[in-house]
């Protein structure tokens, strides 16, 4: 490990307080393996497995979050934890959902379910998956859960039946085919949601696995899942994940690499917005493998944008907003951003977007952390940032609900905890530098004093 000067003292980075992982919070949450198993298995269970409690509908993941919510809040408010900007934006999004549905006679129960799933997943992840040990536990559980989800998709292809539904005695209907191949859904409500999960999980495994064999095995498994889903956006998302990973590996150690990547992205978007008459429609149209699907999505975006302009602040709740003869106004809206704006207004979209960005946006304090301090935590920050970027990207062409909506909240929560750890590391580094500088001054003063006494 390389050394560097601290306040001119010449102290090396390999000092005892600067070893990898030394800045992990003293009150870190530990492994919490049982929480990881409960949460991820709950999210992997099909959402059509429901039960009713007092008239309220619960899916497995919603039950898990309800059980963990109060302990998670107690864990999150322990001494030593720090609030993040994303905490505020998630709370603001939850409050806005309730405010927006007050205009309608019904929909408060549906809004409460969305708040419980998204904010609950965020809070549980923020509370329990913090620090290196918590992250390693989460990834360790994610691997067999992902393998099981892809295995169900393989069985689905081989048997042409939803295996889980068949085992439960339920009828499996609504299969879709593309290019003569079945689009696997596994345990998710739709094929594109299954593919999106595989793309996001692949980003985690690329950075978490320490060996080439491990990366090849688990990333290959996730890529296979994307192929089984036969969905354009997840396949494109996985390609982006791989491209960013190789870009990161080629320029590792160069802090400017991310600034250059973001600048290139904004330059590309600027060209699209300047050259295309309808830039959002152009982007959405080019996220599909099937031109007919692209045309349908463009028409959906144009129709939804028209109705959003009519009620931009609070949306329309969960009721109908288009006339019966408007085909695209009554069709499914395949974009989480459009759906949220139609239901709750543009402010909710802004809050959700800011919650994602605030979870990974670097600050001056985090920029002071030495590059080689803890390679694993640095890799996890990159992996979950990339995962959030893919959630936002794929969300242009799909609406997240149930399992996927919860997983999005979990990913934001984990990335926010990683940022919290970074802030703690930066503050510890500043304190360490001050202590070492003070020790150097005391040592220098001691030498001078002894020299004065010796000269008398």
Q: What is the pLDDT of residues 327-340, one digit of tens each?
A: 777 778 889 999 99
Could you read off the pLDDT of 13-51 as tens digits, one per residue? 334 344 434 444 444 445 688 999 999 999 999 988 888
DSSP state of 287: T
Q: Which residue would you say has higher pLDDT here, 129 or 297?
A: 129
Predicted confidence at residue 169, as pLDDT, reads 72
Q: Which residue would you say has higher pLDDT here, 383 or 282?
A: 383
**What's the rounded mean pLDDT across residues 405-425?**
91
Predicted confidence at residue 196, as pLDDT, reads 96
Predicted confidence at residue 213, as pLDDT, reads 96
Predicted confidence at residue 14, as pLDDT, reads 38
Predicted confidence at residue 45, as pLDDT, reads 93
> Comparing C-alpha atoms, which of 388, 311, 385 is closest to residue 348?
311
Quote the tokens at residue 363: 């600050």
Q: Which residue would you say has higher pLDDT here, 436 or 310?
A: 310
- Report whether pLDDT(358) > 90: yes
- Report whether pLDDT(116) > 80: yes
> Comparing C-alpha atoms, which of 253, 255, 254, 279 is closest to residue 268?
279
Query: Average model confidence (pLDDT) for the chain?
Result: 83
Predicted confidence at residue 437, as pLDDT, reads 63
CB-count exposure of residue 389 (10 Å: 0-12, 13-18, 19+): buried
- Report whether pLDDT(321) > 80: yes
Could you read off the pLDDT of 229-240 as tens digits, one per residue? 998 889 999 999
pLDDT classification of 12: cutoffs 50, 70, 90: very low
Name the 3-class secondary structure at 57: strand
Share of the chain above pLDDT 90, in %: 50
Q: What is the pTM of this model?
A: 0.86
CA atoms within 13 A on the CB side of 385: 19
Predicted confidence at residue 181, as pLDDT, reads 81
Predicted confidence at residue 161, as pLDDT, reads 80
Predicted confidence at residue 49, as pLDDT, reads 85
pLDDT classification of 217: cutoffs 50, 70, 90: very high
Predicted confidence at residue 62, as pLDDT, reads 94
Predicted confidence at residue 294, as pLDDT, reads 73
Beta strand 56-58 pairing with 181-182: unpaired
Could you read off the pLDDT of 416-452 as tens digits, one per residue? 999 988 877 766 655 656 666 666 665 665 555 555 5
Predicted confidence at residue 433, as pLDDT, reads 61
Q: What is the DSSP secondary-structure string of 160-225?
A: SS-HHHHHTT-------EETTEE---TTSSSHHHHHHHHHHHHHHHHHH--SHHHHHHHHHHHHHH
Q: Which residue would you say has higher pLDDT here, 230 or 253?
A: 230
Predicted confidence at residue 322, as pLDDT, reads 81
Name the 3-class secondary structure at 58: strand
Q: How many CB atoms lie within 10 A of CB 278?
A: 14
Could you read off the pLDDT of 361-380 as tens digits, one per residue? 877 666 556 555 678 999 99
398 alpha-carbon distance from chain centroid: 16
> Comparing C-alpha atoms, which of 376, 362, 365 is closest to residue 19?
376
């Amino acid at each position: 490990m390389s050394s560097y000067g601290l306040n001119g003292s010449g102290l090396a980075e390999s000092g005892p307080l600067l070893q990898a992982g030394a800045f992990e919070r003293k009150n870190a949450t530990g492994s919490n393996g049982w929480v990881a198993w409960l949460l991820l298995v709950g999210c992997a269970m099909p959402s059509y497995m429901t039960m009713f409690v007092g008239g309220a509908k619960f899916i497995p993941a919603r039950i898990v979050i309800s059980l963990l919510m109060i302990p998670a809040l107690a864990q999150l408010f322990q001494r030593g934890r720090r609030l993040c900007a994303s905490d505020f934006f998630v709370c603001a999004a939850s409050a806005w959902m309730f405010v927006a549905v007050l205009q309608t006679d019904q929909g408060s129960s549906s809004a409460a379910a969305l708040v419980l799933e998204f904010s609950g997943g965020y809070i549980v992840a923020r509370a329990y998956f913090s620090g290196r040990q918590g992250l390693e536990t989460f990834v360790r559980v994610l691997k067999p859960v992902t393998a099981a989800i892809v295995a169900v998709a393989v069985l689905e292809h081989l048997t042409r039946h939803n295996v889980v539904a068949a085992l439960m005695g339920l009828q499996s209907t609504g299969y879709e085919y593309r290019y003569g191949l079945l689009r696997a859904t596994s345990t998710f409500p739709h094929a594109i949601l299954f593919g999106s999960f595989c793309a996001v999980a692949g980003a985690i495994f690329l950075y978490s696995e320490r060996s080439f064999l491990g990366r090849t095995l688990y990333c290959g498994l996730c890529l296979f899942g994307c192929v089984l889903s036969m969905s354009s956006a997840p396949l494109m998302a996985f390609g982006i994940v791989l491209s960013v990973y190789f870009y990161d590996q080629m320029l590792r150690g160069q802090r400017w690499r991310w600034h250059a990547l973001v600048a290139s992205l904004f330059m590309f978007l600027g060209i699209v917005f300047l050259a295309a008459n309808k830039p959002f429609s152009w982007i959405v149209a080019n996220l599909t493998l099937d031109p007919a699907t692209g045309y349908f999505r463009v028409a959906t975006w144009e129709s939804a944008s028209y109705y959003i302009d009519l009620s931009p602040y609070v949306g329309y709740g969960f009721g109908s907003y288009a006339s019966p003869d408007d085909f695209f106004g009554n069709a499914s809206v395949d974009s989480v951003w459009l759906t949220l704006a139609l239901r709750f207004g543009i402010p909710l979209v802004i809050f959700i977007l800011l919650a994602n960005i605030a979870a990974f946006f670097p600050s001056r304090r985090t920029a002071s952390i030495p590059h080689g301090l803890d390679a694993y935590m640095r890799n996890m920050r990159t992996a979950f940032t990339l995962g959030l970027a893919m959630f936002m990207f794929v969300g242009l062409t799909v609406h997240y609900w149930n399992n996927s909506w919860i997983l999005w909240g979990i990913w934001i929560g984990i990335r926010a905890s990683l940022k919290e750890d970074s802030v703690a590391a930066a503050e510890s580094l500043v304190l360490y530098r001050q202590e070492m500088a003070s020790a150097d001054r005391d040592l220098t003063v001691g030498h001078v004093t002894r020299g004065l006494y010796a000269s008398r």
